[in-house]
Structure 1
Amino acid sequence: MDSNSSVHVVLFPFMSKGHIIPILNLARLLLLRRGITITIFTTPANSPFIRKSLPDTQPTVSIIELEFPSNIPELPPGVESTDQLPSMSLFVPLANATKLMQPDFERALHYLSASGCGVSFIISDGFLGWTLQSAQKFSIPRLVFYGMNNYVKTICRVLAVDRSHLKLGPDEPFTVPGFPSIKLTLNDFDAPLNGSESDGAHVEFIIEATIATSKSQGLVVNSFYELEPAYVDYWNREFVPKAWCVGPLSWVEPTRSDRKKEKPDWIKWLDQKSVEGRSVLYIAFGSQAEITKEQLREMAIGLERSEVSFFWVVRSKGSEVLEELEEKVKGRGLVVREWVDQVEILRHDSVKGFMSHCGWNSALESICAAVPILAWPMMADQHLNARMVAEELSVGLRIMASNGSVRGFVGADIVEKMVKKLMEGEEGEEVRRKVKDVGEAARKAVEESGSSWRTLDQLIDETCMNMDPTHVLL
């Protein structure tokens, strides 16, 4: 890219921390190139988090707030993000409500064009498929960000066409056409790929998003080529739009030099574990996992019996059942209910394992920190991510339900067994060695000579080259 060129990128993340955070890291990655300015669109309730996350990027980053629609029948008043939803069953109403923001979004694009701040291209979340129409009105290329890896995207696209797996039982294994080494079950999928839904608002939303994606300029992927070359190549050979691997985006997390000198209590606790020579298992399941009290209780019993040191970040309702555990393991285990800096935790030298829901952000952050994963997926793409972590990459182990399925109740005995296996067993040592190698490959990918760095440069060049120089002013 010509260092003297002026490129203006619009970023529009979906209203969910798991989607916003990687987009903010992408903004930082873009700003490492000269001549780039960025405008981020969000809503008033999400704006403070974004502004707090980007304090050192002014004046090259502007933030435009669009009012989130009010009086949506299914949504509680004031809810503007998934982490505020009382249940993830309300995801589709939240996502569909964003369509009502389209007129304000287009007025803002018009203002940017009219004020001489022409937009070079838009990167918007795949859940905001309606932004394609807006981009087309202004002759602006639109790229899509889903936050998924190529392994998941490719499998889901192949199985959306070949639906023979829908005839099988929920735990009956099958292979994926074109990838005979992959063994999956229906329980690895949510609707509609598990056959439980054939119509309705959820299916309609997925179809709309898929069509908008297929008509967009490209896919921006939080992954790196060396991690999954067969799936990147297959996608770019068989499907559209082109996938651009520019990650891992967590490598460009902001430096923490601006942190107050006083360390958070949880970092002090980890520091103490280092002094004691104790390895710590970090446990977190994201902000949207809905875990029953019964399951939390079994997890607590298993962790207590394991005698492993652990740091458990709990967001689930009903976490009061863990109060007894906190008393029993005081000093050895720490339960935290506040927001923590996950990247900093994973990079702490005392943390030697991560029990995770396998959201892709968390999986990549763990890989980058060379911390092996104990995969316990809950929803969405997490089951496929868990397969990838344990079976494709061999950087983690997998927790299975008591009935042998990939879904279902997990007893305390299984929790105890798998925690010990990861933290103390030979299998844990094997995946620890493997994740160190993969983490090093991730670091090299985002260096200036690396594959992801070069790919982002190519993306900018090709997208700007295809841009219509005369934006339409409406």
Structure 2
Amino acid sequence: MNGGSRGLKVTVITTPSNAPFIVSQTSNHPNISSAIIPFPRVEELPDGCENTADLPSMALWVPFLEATKKMKQSFERVLRDMIDDGRPPICVISDFLLGWTLDSCRLFGIPRIVSHGIGVFSMSISLYLISFSSCLNGLWGMVPIELPGMTLPFKLQKADIPEGIGEADMNSWGVIVNSFEELEGRDHVGRLESFYYNDAKAYCVGPSLLYNQPGQNLEADHDKSSYIKWLDKQAEMRFGRTVLYVSFGTQTHLSEDQLDEIANGLEMANHPFIWVVRSKTWAAPKGWNERVKQRGLVLRNWVDQRRILAHSATGGFLGHCGWNSTLESLTMGVPLLAWPMIGISEQALNAKFVVMGLGAGLMVPWTGVNGEKIMTVGRDVICDKVKELMGGENGRMAGERAQALEEWQGICGKRWVLL
């Protein structure tokens, strides 16, 4: 955020519940201000639910998106006020889920740049398939899909395809991506740009996790949390990167049966682990806490995931393959045990990209023969996959590949300094 030296000013348009976080992140930047607009009340949504992380259930995803569309009038009022005050915006950057902002920007003759929280590879496939959406309707989940002109390192199936990217995206002036060419390849960046009209450019500004780093040595930072001290002890007691980190993000809601299976699978695998459990109601199986207390740590509150992944004791990450978590794991040199959770997202594509494209992880079997999501993955499957990642030959090779990818953090860090 060095725009101030160029005379740039940034206005972040946000809603009341999100404003405190925005202010906390921008208060030291005099050229950044916020404009707060009301979040529409929708019967299905709880009061104060103004971002996807606060959704109590993914069943409310559609009502949430519909609510955002009702912000259009307030959004346009902010743009009008800026123009009337002699401060016309040179561009608007908005999330890809807010496609309606394109019409608002066109109304005032302002270029719109779309911001994506997913990678170049997944975006390229998603945009390609917009042209063939009618052809996909009759396909079942596991039927292979061929993409002329695109070489993929894996078999693409309908079950892998995310939803929500459309014409408003492709009509934007440009696209900002939280990724970098060294990871995804210039060919994929160029292909992504080809889907946008008017010679739009893709600006790879990631990984954004390098911004506001807590320190060059994440493991050695002071003010260590209890779980970091626990990892320190594991590093002293055992040789190598032996701890498995388990987390499925803030938007995944697992059934209690699935949580039971994960608990039993981790116990059976007999590897040290840190497991972040988001459920407020789940209780571990009888006697489980006592049996795993010497090698397992269950956390119920927010954790600094980057610090855990950066620790020398952490050797694997069992997760949902959200793009931010995927980047954090790869830039810390930690192989993934990929288990996509949310079907409407790009998690399945991220998982295949990491496992089959980069060779930096293994996959938990999560779909049936017809492409349907397996409702509950059993403990035996979880146990076997954890053992394979943390102690098997395939896991060893994935770990070596992930550690080789870690070198890219240094390359990107230099780019961030220049930015």
Kindly indicate whether the alpha-carbon contact (under 8 Å) linking 1:446 and 1:453 is maintained by their aligned counterparts in 2: yes
User: Pick from 67, 76, 92: which aligns with 2:38?
Assistant: 67
Deviates further, 376-385 or 248-257? 248-257
The change in CA–CA distance for 1:333 and 1:128 in structure 2 (over 3 A counts) is same
Partner of 2:275, secondary structure, is strand
Specify the alignment match of 2:20 in structure 1.
48
User: Given the alignment of the two structures, is residue 386 of structure 1 paired with residue 351 of structure 2, yes or no?
Assistant: yes
1:114 Cα deviation after fit: 4.3
Kindly indicate whether the alpha-carbon contact (under 8 Å) linking 1:292 and 1:318 is maintained by their aligned counterparts in 2: no
Query: TM-score by structure 1 length?
Result: 0.78
1:364 Cα deviation after fit: 0.6
Paired AA for residue 178 in structure 2: N
Alignment of 1:333-348 (within 5 A): 333-348=296-311
User: Given the alignment of the two structures, is residue 81 of structure 1 paired with residue 51 of structure 2, yes or no?
Assistant: yes
1:367 Cα deviation after fit: 0.9
Specify the alignment match of 1:215 in structure 2.
171
Specify the alignment match of 2:334 in structure 1.
371
Specify the alignment match of 1:266 in structure 2.
227
Per-residue CA deviations over 1:16-75 (Å, capped at 9, x if unaligned) read xxxxxxxxxxxx5x55975443322211111223333445x33232222222112x1222
Kindly indicate whether the alpha-carbon contact (under 8 Å) linking 1:400 and 1:406 is maintained by their aligned counterparts in 2: no
The change in CA–CA distance for 1:42 and 1:238 in structure 2 (over 3 A counts) is closer
1:222 Cα deviation after fit: 1.0
User: Pick from 185, 188, 198: which aligns with 1:231?
Assistant: 188
Specify the alignment match of 1:6 in structure 2.
none
Specify the alignment match of 1:440 in structure 2.
407
Partner of 1:94, secondary structure, is helix
User: Pick from 299, 321, 329: which aligns with 1:358?
Assistant: 321
Kindly indicate whether the alpha-carbon contact (under 8 Å) linking 2:215 and 2:221 is maintained by their aligned counterparts in 1: no
Kindly indicate whether the alpha-carbon contact (under 8 Å) linking 1:224 and 1:442 is maintained by their aligned counterparts in 2: no
Paired AA for residue 358 in structure 2: L
The change in CA–CA distance for 1:248 and 1:133 in structure 2 (over 3 A counts) is same
Partner of 1:75, secondary structure, is coil
Query: TM-score by structure 2 length?
Result: 0.87
Paired AA for residue 440 in structure 1: E
Specify the alignment match of 1:22 in structure 2.
none
Say what the alpha-carbon RMSD is for the aligned residues: 2.8
Specify the alignment match of 1:135 in structure 2.
105
Kindly indicate whether the alpha-carbon contact (under 8 Å) linking 1:225 and 1:245 is maintained by their aligned counterparts in 2: yes
User: Pick from 262, 284, 299: which aligns with 2:262?
Assistant: 299
User: Pick from 228, 236, 250: which aligns with 1:275?
Assistant: 236
Alignment of 1:93-104 (within 5 A): 93-104=63-74
Paired AA for residue 380 in structure 2: D
1:318 Cα deviation after fit: 4.3
1:332 Cα deviation after fit: 0.8
List structure 1 segments (4+ residues) > 6 angstroms apart after TM superposition. Answer: none
Query: Percent sequence identity over matched residues?
Result: 39
Paired AA for residue 176 in structure 1: L
Specify the alignment match of 2:395 in structure 1.
428
Kindly indicate whether the alpha-carbon contact (under 8 Å) linking 2:8 and 2:31 is maintained by their aligned counterparts in 1: yes
1:145 Cα deviation after fit: 0.8
The change in CA–CA distance for 1:446 and 1:381 in structure 2 (over 3 A counts) is same
Partner of 1:418, secondary structure, is helix
Per-residue CA deviations over 1:339-375 (Å, capped at 9, x if unaligned) read 1111122112221111110001110111111111110
Distance in 2 (CA, whole Å) between partners of 1:407 and 1:401 is 6
Name the count of aligned residue pairs: 406
Kindly indicate whether the alpha-carbon contact (under 8 Å) linking 1:251 and 1:368 is maintained by their aligned counterparts in 2: no
Partner of 1:179, secondary structure, is coil
1:419 Cα deviation after fit: 0.8
Kindly indicate whether the alpha-carbon contact (under 8 Å) linking 1:122 and 1:142 is maintained by their aligned counterparts in 2: yes
Alignment of 1:193-208 (within 5 A): 206=164
User: Given the alignment of the two structures, is residue 289 of structure 1 paired with residue 245 of structure 2, yes or no?
Assistant: no
User: Given the alignment of the two structures, is residue 173 of structure 1 paired with residue 151 of structure 2, yes or no?
Assistant: no
Specify the alignment match of 1:9 in structure 2.
none
Specify the alignment match of 1:184 in structure 2.
156
Structure 1 unaligned spans of 5+: 1-27, 192-205, 457-474
1:254 Cα deviation after fit: 3.7
Deviates further, 309-318 or 259-268? 259-268
Kindly indicate whether the alpha-carbon contact (under 8 Å) linking 1:421 and 1:427 is maintained by their aligned counterparts in 2: yes
Kindly indicate whether the alpha-carbon contact (under 8 Å) linking 1:289 and 1:316 is maintained by their aligned counterparts in 2: no
Partner of 1:184, secondary structure, is coil
Per-residue CA deviations over 1:61-105 (Å, capped at 9, x if unaligned) read 2222222112x1222233212222232121122122122222322
User: Given the alignment of the two structures, is residue 417 of structure 1 paired with residue 388 of structure 2, yes or no?
Assistant: no
Distance in 1 (CA, whole Å) between partners of 2:98 and 2:172 is 12
Per-residue CA deviations over 1:196-229 (Å, capped at 9, x if unaligned) read xxxxxxxxxx4xx622222211110111112222
Paired AA for residue 183 in structure 2: L
The change in CA–CA distance for 1:446 and 1:69 in structure 2 (over 3 A counts) is same
